[in-house]
Amino acid sequence: MSESLASTSSSTPPASGGIALHSVTVTYQRHPALHHLSGRFEPGSMTAVVGPNGAGKTTLLRALAGDLLLQSGHVDGLAAQRMAWLPQHSEIDRGFPISVREMVMHGLWHQLGAWGWRRASHRAACDQALAAVGMTGMEQRPIDTLSGGQMQRALFARLILEDASVILLDEPFAAVDEPTSADLLRLIAQWQREGKTVITVLHDLRLVRLHFPQTLLLARQAVAWGPTDRVLTEANWLRAQHMREPFDEHAPLCVHTEPSACTASPPASAQPVKEALAWPR
Amino acid sequence: MAALSSLFQAVAGPFIEFNFMRRALLGCLLLSVSAAPVGVFLMLRRMSLTGDAMAHAILPGAAIGYLAAGLSLTAMTIGGVIAGLGVAMGSGLVARHTVLREDTSLAAFYLLSLALGVLIVSVRGNSVDLLHVLFGTVLALDDAALSLLGGIAVTTLVAGALLFRPLVLECLDPGFLRRVSALSPLAHYGFLGLLVINLVAGFHALGTLMAVGLMVLPAATARFWLRSLLPLILLASALALLASASGLLISYHADWPTSPTIVLCLGVAYLVSMLLAPFGLRAQQRSSSHLQA
């Protein structure tokens, strides 16, 4: 990681109020994927979102990014902030005839827009971001020659240029090797030191314990949310596993209107999953 | 020397001698700088067959224009543009609001449109008109037709330059474009609009059946040689011009119909490139040596 990175991103104003969720519910065909989720991402915090499959982790990111309509509840504190989002399965056409530098340069859209003239300073910022992810020398490579890990590094370089104050990452290390994820984790930590709010969906609890101060354990509702060592306990993990993965086709209407009425305990209709995932130590 | 001079005579002679050949060449030049870049984006958006379908979809509009005003350039152009945009919007709406996907709904709309067009032309026109509509009249481009082609070329280049960055992102990473900007629908529908006006331009010169040839074939041929965007666009335009000039000359000397000859010239360039170019069939061969790292 280059030390010059801080100067690339120094223009980020520190996030002021954090992001507050008030009883956020998102439904698919009326079944809640996120159920009365309330809580707060502190400004400049670095939070891992973990939970079993179908827990609503990606739904939460999409809801924060404004990609989904909330069925009820609201989110405060995002209006004034610029947000960057790296989806798990990006729709990038890997066969598109474009160089790494040209692709990464799109991260400057907030400065250049559709018609802004690209100056030498923009190119320099782009090459600096590529250097920060260890891709110096690959600026001219067509993107169809990149490996999966190199592509992820390039997408992180684009995130650097986006210079957003809130960064949402969905499984950013799903398909990358150990050295690459270590490099990218250092970058995420640096973003946090610069005052950016980083929210990352992760499966690897070992990485979460090592690198993420805050954790939200999600099972459609928040099973636990706070300092990682207090959230990632065996008891909490088992409670999260109790959530039934398929929607209950005969679920009754949810009549709770008060956020506090929905507790962190699994709904009464939930049955223990027979083969609960082992508690990863 | 004599051979050289007779070659010059064969290549440049028809253009020097005949005004209609010069007009045809100018028409091909205008189409090449305008339709070929559109074709490159069609290819990159995996919409080459969409282009073909849209080319058929403009037929009833042109036919209704012909019914209303005879062989009038303006009427047939306006009719063609309306029919093309109608099919594009209609199939887009069906794809977004029903269970059908874009390809099926577009096929349904363009087949309806094409059948209607053939019916109108057969019942009300005569076979000469039908040939005109199907195969174009590149050797009979008058001033009005040439200025229409010029206007469409200028519109395409200006709008293409303005839409360039959103259009690139719409092909490369549509999700990212939607996140950073509200220009995604403008890029999509603006591009469809450019597609339709270029098909109408091509239809006057090459006819509805072959108009899309000047878009798809140069782009596909250029892709065998290059892997970056701007050179691709330039090469596609150059190939389109070269092939249409060759097609004009061959059709003149051999007395063949012009628009199929032009498309066949583009096809020869495509086949040769497929065999010889670095990203054609050669890319699949086992090479005799390799590098250390």
In angstroms, rounded to a whole number, what is the distance separating the alpha carbons of residues B217 and B210?
11
pLDDT at A273: 41
**What are φ and ψ of residue B257, in 5° steps?**
-60, 140
pLDDT band at residue B286 using 50, 70 and 90 as cut-offs: low
> 3-class DSSP state for residue A274?
coil
Whether the pLDDT of residue B36 is over 90: the answer is yes
Q: Is residue A36 part of a domain?
A: yes
List domains and CATH numbers for chain B: 14-277 (1.10.3470.10)
Determine contact, residues A42/A195, Cβ cutoff 8 Å.
Answer: no
| HEC sequence for chain B | CHHHHHHHHHHHHHHHHCHHHHHHHHHHHHHHHHHHHHHHHHHHCCCHHHHHHHHHHCHHHHHHHHHHHCCCHHHHHHHHHHHHHHHHHHHHHHHHHCCCCHHHHHHHHHHHHHHHHHHHHHHHCCHHHHHHHHHCCHHHCCHHHHHHHHHHHHHHHHHHHHHHHHHHHHHHCHHHHHHHCCCHHHHHHHHHHHHHHHHHHHHHHHCCCCCCHHHHHHHHHHHHHCCCHHHHHHHHHHHHHHHHHHHHHHHHHHCCCHHHHHHHHHHHHHHHHHHHCCCCHHHHCCCCCCCCC
Q: How far apart are the CA of B107 and the nearest CA of chain A, in angstroms?
A: 25
Q: Is B158 on the interface with A (CB under 8 A)?
A: no
Q: Is B173 close to A90, i.e. CB distance below 8 A?
A: yes
Q: Which domain holds residue A210?
A: 5-261
Q: Is A97 close to B174, i.e. CB distance below 8 A?
A: no
A232-246, A254-268, B29-43, B277-291: the lowest-pLDDT one: A254-268
pLDDT for B124-161, tens place per residue? 766 666 667 677 777 878 888 899 999 999 999 999 99
pLDDT band at residue A259 using 50, 70 and 90 as cut-offs: very low
Q: Is residue A279 part of a domain?
A: no
Residues of B in contact with A115 (CB under 8 A): 162, 165
Q: Is B283 on the interface with A (CB under 8 A)?
A: no
Q: How far apart are the CA of A223 and the nearest CA of chain B, in angstroms?
A: 30
Domain count, chain A: 1
DSSP one-letter string for A120-179: HHHHHHHHHHHHHTT-TT-TTSBGGG--HHHHHHHHHHHHHHH--SEEEEESTTTT--HH
Top-confidence residue, B165 or A277: B165
Secondary structure letter of residue A107 according to DSSP: G
pLDDT for A54-73, tens place per residue? 888 999 998 998 888 888 88
Q: Is residue A276 part of a domain?
A: no
CATH number of the domain enclosing A123: 3.40.50.300
Residues of A in contact with B162 (CB under 8 A): 114-115
**Assigned token pair, A202:** 């992760």
> 3-class DSSP state for residue A25?
strand
Q: How far apart are the CA of B280 and the nearest CA of chain A, in angstroms?
A: 15
Q: Is residue A277 part of a domain?
A: no
Q: Is residue A274 part of a domain?
A: no
pLDDT for A208-236, tens place per residue? 999 999 999 999 888 899 999 999 988 88
Burial of B229 (0-12, 13-18, 19+ CB in 10 A): buried
Whether the pLDDT of residue A196 is over 70: the answer is yes
pLDDT at A197: 93
- List of residues 6+ apart from B251 with CB closer than 8 A: B257, B258, B261, B262
Reference A66, options A12, A126, A26, A108; nearest CA is: A26
In angstroms, rounded to a whole number, what is the distance separating the alpha carbons of residues B53 and B111?
8
pLDDT band at residue A278 using 50, 70 and 90 as cut-offs: low
Report the residue from B162, B171, B229 with minimal CB separation from A93.
Answer: B171
Average pLDDT of the residues of chain A: 82
**What are φ and ψ of residue B47, in 5° steps?**
-120, 20
Q: Is residue A281 part of a domain?
A: no
Report the residue from A85, A98, A114 with minimal CB separation from B172.
Answer: A98
Q: Is residue A118 part of a domain?
A: yes
- Which residues partner with B144 through β-bridges? none
Q: Is B123 on the interface with A (CB under 8 A)?
A: no
Q: Is residue A280 part of a domain?
A: no
What pTM, to 2 d.p., does this model score? 0.83
List, as ranges, residues 220-279 from B with C-beta within 8 Å of A. 223, 226-229, 232
pLDDT at B64: 83
H or E element at residue A261: none
Q: Is B227 close to A92, i.e. CB distance below 8 A?
A: no
Helices (H) and strands (E) in chain A, counts: 10, 9
**What are φ and ψ of residue A44, in 5° steps?**
75, 15
**C-alpha of B30 from chain center:** 12
Residues of B in contact with A157 (CB under 8 A): none
pLDDT for A150-165, tens place per residue? 999 999 999 999 999 9
In angstroms, rounded to a whole number, what is the distance separating the alpha carbons of residues B209 and B77?
16
pLDDT at A211: 92
Reference A205, options A38, A52, A86; nearest CA is: A52
